[in-house]
Structure 1
Amino acid sequence: MLTRRRVAPLAAVLLVLIIAGLLAAALHFKKNSDALWQIVSEHCLPGQQHGGNPAPCQRVDLNQRYAMLKDRNGPLQYLLIPTDRISGIESPQLLHPDTPNYFALAWHERILLAQRHGSPVDDRVLSLAINAQYGRTQNQLHIHLSCLRPDVRQQLDRLTPPRSGQWQRVTLRSHRYWVRTLTPAALAQQSVFIRLADERPEARAERGKYGLALAELRDGRLVLMAIEQNWLLLNRGSAEELQDHSCQLITPTKKAA
């Protein structure tokens, strides 16, 4: 049985963690959480529709209903943003079969990083990430296309996931992730949001607690990584933690206009 002396410090720690979680949530709502949606809906989309000029976005795909925007952070980071109003990973729209396969589209757009870099970029340097509902600052779905952290790259190089596509537990950056392999064809065939909901039943009802990331393994397969928010472990479900927006794995030599 716990004594009062032991219970008091434990209660204090839990209180601090709860307060930290509430502060994070408050910060989430304090910022202009519609900034990305305003850029896309008021500038990029109308500009493409009426004059063929998607600025300030780099491009707008009217058929697949998404825009690509250069993020202010980092020399090579881009964001894929739907031109439909979709809040984030928790949105039921992402489970609809007619919704564009945003992760596959974002991976296809990695050519933008090479163009901005001014020379080819190894796919093993790159990654995609989307954060959980309270691990983000924007309430318009956006997928980060950026570089992978060097230490995460090393961890993935040591990873030997099964070829069956089964999920397994892996620790990355001190957080527990569920990971599974994908072929590029499988990525294009089915949305990772639908795959997560179908293959991890506990995630279907609480999708907002999950962040997702994607990278390439040494053998050319892709690895899908899912992190679940856990306030007690100071884990906001931010899969973006696996990315390095300064791109230490490559040295930018040229910036495109």
Structure 2
Amino acid sequence: MRRVLLAIGVPGLLAAGVLLTVARASGPYKATENPNVLWTIVHDRCVPNQIGENTPAPCAVVDTDRGYAVLKDRIGRAQYLVIPTDRVTGIEDQALLAQDTPDYFGAAWHQIDRSLARLGHTMPRETVALAINSKFGRSQNQLHIHVDCLAPNIRVALHWARQNIGSGWTPLVLDGHTYRATRIDGNTLDGAYPFRRLAASLADPVREMAEHTLVVVGTVWPNGHPGFILLDDVVKPLSGDRASGEELQDHSCHIAAFEPGHPIRPSDHLL
């Protein structure tokens, strides 16, 4: 547990601050547990149940055509994990850069409404985030994208940083770690391929990808157009930075108290 300065709501959040205690989790399972738990759940239970019984349990979704499953994490009010149905170890897996690899980040953004349904109301796109940790900042050796609320203080920081983020990479200090940010335009992430964008910015992707984390946060650019902020951090051993972008999320979803939105009806849920 640690204490961070949170602001209350935008624009109200920009006028006052309050200290709240926010719990951070390094992942859905402790590092001492089996690092293949997620793979076992998806491969041995969810996929066979979907194929044989037409039910994805214990997953919420299994889409064998698109190559992913969706599992409610045991940590957090609204956290879901998007997990490949193929064996993909993590961000360092070179299969992620192949042209025929499923669009995992695109699929993950389509699960935002599922998370919001757990909260009972809608929220602006700026309040939710997708995150994948580096090889050195994760507990599981099966790729999984965390879908959950953004920490309120990060929401405020990115609100003010938007105007300085363009198609290049811009440095940003978030949660005490130096990230770099770039702009993605569009209402969805379909076809944006964050893994490829990261690889294109590295001198030696095969060697370097394992040390990076990626976070995607929804935004509305100053011109009113929807888009995303893609954030990247890299392992920094001397400072203890393990490149766990999940640190920018808040699995307690405190931001939901500041962004009430509109009630979600059962018909609003995603398939």
TM-score interval (norm. to shorter): 0.7 to 0.9
Relative to the length of structure 1, the TM-score reads 0.83
Deviation of 1:116 (Å): 2.2
What residue ranges of structure 2 are gaps of 5+ in the alignment? 1-25, 267-271
Cα distance 1:202–1:81, how it changes in 2: closer, same or farther (>3 A)? Answer: same
Report the number of matched residues.
232
Cα distance 1:29–1:154, how it changes in 2: closer, same or farther (>3 A)? Answer: closer
Deviation of 1:239 (Å): 0.4
Q: Secondary structure at the match of 1:225?
A: strand
1:1-257 equivalent positions in 2, closer than 5 A: 30-162=32-164, 164-184=166-186, 187-201=189-203, 203=205, 205-219=207-221, 220-251=226-257
User: How much is the aligned-residue C-alpha RMSD, in angstroms?
Assistant: 2.5
User: Which residue does 1:10 correspond to in 2?
Assistant: none
What residue ranges of structure 1 are gaps of 5+ in the alignment? 1-23
Q: Secondary structure at the match of 2:106?
A: helix
Looking at structure 2, the residues matched to 160 and 141 of structure 1 have their Cα atoms a distance apart, in angstroms, of 29
The answer to whether the 8 A contact 2:133-2:243 is kept is yes
Identity %: 37
Spell out structure 1 runs of 4+ moving beyond 4 A. Answer: 161-164, 251-254
Looking at structure 2, the residues matched to 200 and 164 of structure 1 have their Cα atoms a distance apart, in angstroms, of 18
Deviation of 1:195 (Å): 1.1
Letter in 2 for 1:111: D
Deviation of 1:64 (Å): 0.6
Higher percent of residues as helix: 1
Letter in 2 for 1:221: G
User: Which residue does 2:8 correspond to in 1?
Assistant: none
Relative to the length of structure 2, the TM-score reads 0.79
Higher percent of residues as strand: 2
Q: Deviations over 1:187-239 (max 9, x none)?
A: 32231111111133355531000000010224232100000001111000100
Cα distance 1:58–1:38, how it changes in 2: closer, same or farther (>3 A)? Answer: same
